[in-house]
């Protein structure tokens, strides 16, 4: 049957001239920016590092697509907005993607098809999944030219609604959905992803959180034994088990702490709250904020009291008091809460980039291992987008743009690929509004590449 997409069609006439169109332009790509991503991938070497974690039983002398090439194609497609493996069936002979994979645009061999992609998503064993997850941490550490003196890592989970009876799916009453609650860890100050872990849809227990933190910190300290690590998280992570592990292993923390009757009845908190409410009323302010700190120990903690900082806000609606628990001894309560703890809000924006703009919630496989592989591949795509953004001039507005904006401005760029006997020329649109930035990024990535 003929492909209906190739049939000609028309648009309204302009100056009495008929306008006809058809998808028959030849060697054109609508994703010219994939070549920037390919340069970033070559610099980071993500696909090759991930491929080394997976056993390939095929006869290497008889294969068409190498494992690292298969993973590279999938990662590039995700970064360009093609989150489904099905999309590779229509992109197999796209000249831009073929060049990004080191193939000739007019060559007979295209990219791997969807069935091949799906087989490799389901291929890794649980042991190989652990190695893949650890490789993400290795990539994070290698992204620093020298070990930093200190890093602050934000750990948080996000709801990932499922569409069937996938392994690890669980009904969550808070979200009112059957879902996963994958854990995301970011170096929020720089926007770097650190680790992503698919997990069941229920709130993590303290023992589970402590286990994840232990494995993460030990992997980081293989590379950075002297780097000081501080962890931030919401009330899900302010459990006795992770706090005890951090204190025993030289890791500082700032965790949210749910309020309770004992905290709200603490004399220091009560005094500061009454003063705040009274001063607001006397001044006639719409709201007034104060800070206080105290020592507190829940019965489940089983140790001496820990430092708790409180943010107290009085308004016409009454008092709103929020608490955080920390191992830090320096800094005022205001600094601990407003400057240090509230900065973790940026992690929510990074999760949005990962989940909404790179579609990492497309975890529709039945097997948990396959969905974890997808989460890893989407994290690899995040690294490519991050590298492209980091290659921009510091003062360029797109340096702080979201991935969706970068994709629209720099990746979705039409180009004609002209192949001759001695060279391949890529002709971008003369009117491209970001031509100078595109060229600058390409030169920067090439200079930094291997």
Quick check: 1 pLDDT over 50?
no
SS3 content of the chain, % helix, strand, coil (to 5): 45, 20, 35
Q: How does strand 252-257 pair with strand 228-233?
A: parallel
- For residue 180, tell me if it sits in a domain: no
Q: What range defines the domain where residue 316 resides?
A: 261-327
**Pair 162, 180: CB distance under 8 Å:** yes
State percent of the chain over pLDDT 70: 98
pLDDT at 286: 92
Bridge-partner residues for 257, per DSSP?
323
* 392 vs 396: CA distance, rounded Å: 7
Question: Mean pLDDT throughout 216-240?
Answer: 95
Quick check: 399 pLDDT over 90?
yes
pLDDT at 303: 73
Question: Mean pLDDT throughout 247-276?
Answer: 94
Quick check: 4 pLDDT over 70?
no
Q: How does strand 424-428 pair with strand 28-29?
A: unpaired
Q: Name, in order, each residue with C-beta under 8 angstroms of 389's C-beta and a sequence gap of 6 or more.
A: 191, 398, 399, 401, 403, 406
Quick check: 173 pLDDT over 60?
yes
- For residue 62, tell me if it sits in a domain: no
- For residue 281, tell me if it sits in a domain: yes
Query: What backbone torsions phi and psi does residue 367 show, to the nearest 5 degrees?
Result: -80, 135
Question: pLDDT tens digits for 23-53?
Answer: 877 788 999 999 999 999 999 999 999 999 9
* 31 vs 424: CA distance, rounded Å: 17
Write out the H or E segment, with its range, that includes residue 111. none
How many structural domains does the chain have? 1
Question: Mean pLDDT throughout 183-198?
Answer: 96
- For residue 381, tell me if it sits in a domain: no
* 123 vs 367: CA distance, rounded Å: 11
- For residue 113, tell me if it sits in a domain: no
**Confidence grade of residue 106 (pLDDT, cut at 50, 70, 90):** confident
- For residue 319, tell me if it sits in a domain: yes
- For residue 427, tell me if it sits in a domain: no
Quick check: 403 pLDDT over 50?
yes
**Pair 44, 436: CB distance under 8 Å:** no
- For residue 315, tell me if it sits in a domain: yes
* 271 vs 293: CA distance, rounded Å: 11
* 392 vs 253: CA distance, rounded Å: 33
Question: Mean pLDDT throughout 129-155?
Answer: 96
Residue 196: Cβ-neighbour burial (10 angstroms; 0-12, 13-18, 19+)? buried
User: In 3-state terms, what secondary structure has residue 48?
Assistant: helix
Question: pLDDT tens digits for 269-327?
Answer: 999 999 999 999 999 899 999 999 999 998 888 778 899 999 999 998 899 999 999 99
Quick check: 86 pLDDT over 50?
yes
pLDDT at 220: 97
**Pair 101, 109: CB distance under 8 Å:** no
């Amino acid at each position: 049957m003929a492909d209906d997409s190739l049939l000609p069609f028309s648009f309204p006439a302009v100056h009495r001239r008929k306008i006809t169109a058809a998808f028959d332009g030849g060697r054109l790509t609508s994703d010219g920016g994939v070549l920037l991503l390919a340069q970033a991938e070559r610099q980071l070497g993500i696909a090759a590092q991930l491929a080394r974690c997976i056993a390939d039983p095929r006869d290497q002398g008889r294969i068409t697509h190498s494992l690292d090439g298969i993973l590279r194609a999938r990662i590039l497609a995700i970064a360009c907005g093609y989150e489904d493996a099905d999309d590779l069936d229509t992109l197999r002979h796209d000249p831009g993607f073929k060049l990004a994979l080191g193939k000739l645009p007019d060559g007979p061999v295209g990219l791997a098809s969807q069935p091949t992609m799906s087989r490799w998503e389901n291929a890794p064993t649980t042991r190989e999944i652990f190695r893949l997850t650890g490789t993400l941490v290795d990539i994070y550490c290698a992204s620093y030219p020298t070990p930093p003196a200190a890093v602050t890592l934000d750990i948080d989970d996000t709801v990932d609604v499922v569409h069937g009876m996938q392994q690890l799916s669980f009904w969550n009453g808070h979200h009112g959905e059957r879902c996963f609650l994958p854990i995301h860890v970011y170096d929020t100050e720089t926007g770097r992803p650190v680790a992503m872990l698919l997990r069941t849809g229920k709130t993590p227990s303290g023992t589970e959180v402590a286990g994840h933190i232990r494995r993460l910190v030990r992997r980081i300290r293989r590379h950075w034994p002297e780097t000081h690590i501080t962890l931030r998280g919401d009330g899900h992570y302010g459990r006795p088990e992770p706090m005890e592990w951090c204190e025993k292993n030289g890791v500082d923390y700032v965790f949210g702490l749910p309020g309770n009757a004992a905290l709200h009845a603490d004399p220091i908190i009560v005094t500061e709250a009454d003063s705040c409410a009274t001063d607001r009323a006397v001044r006639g302010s719409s709201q007034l904020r104060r800070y206080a700190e105290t020592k507190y120990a829940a019965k489940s903690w089983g140790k001496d009291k820990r430092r708790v900082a409180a943010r107290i806000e009085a308004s016409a609606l009454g008092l709103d008091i929020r608490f955080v628990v920390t191992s830090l001894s320096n800094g005022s309560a205001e600094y601990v809460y407003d400057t240090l703890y509230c900065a973790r809000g940026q992690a929510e924006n990074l999760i949005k980039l990962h989940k909404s703009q790179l579609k990492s919630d497309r975890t529709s496989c039945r097997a948990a291992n396959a969905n974890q592989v997808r989460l890893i591949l989407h994290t690899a795509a995040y690294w490519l987008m991050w590298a492209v953004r980091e290659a921009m001039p510091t003062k360029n507005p797109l340096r702080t743009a979201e991935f969706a904006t970068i994709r629209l401005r720099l990746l979705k760029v039409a180009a004609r690929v002209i192949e001759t006997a001695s060279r391949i020329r890529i002709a971008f649109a003369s009117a491209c509004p970001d031509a100078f930035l595109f060229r600058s990024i390409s030169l920067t990535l090439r200079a930094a590449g291997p």
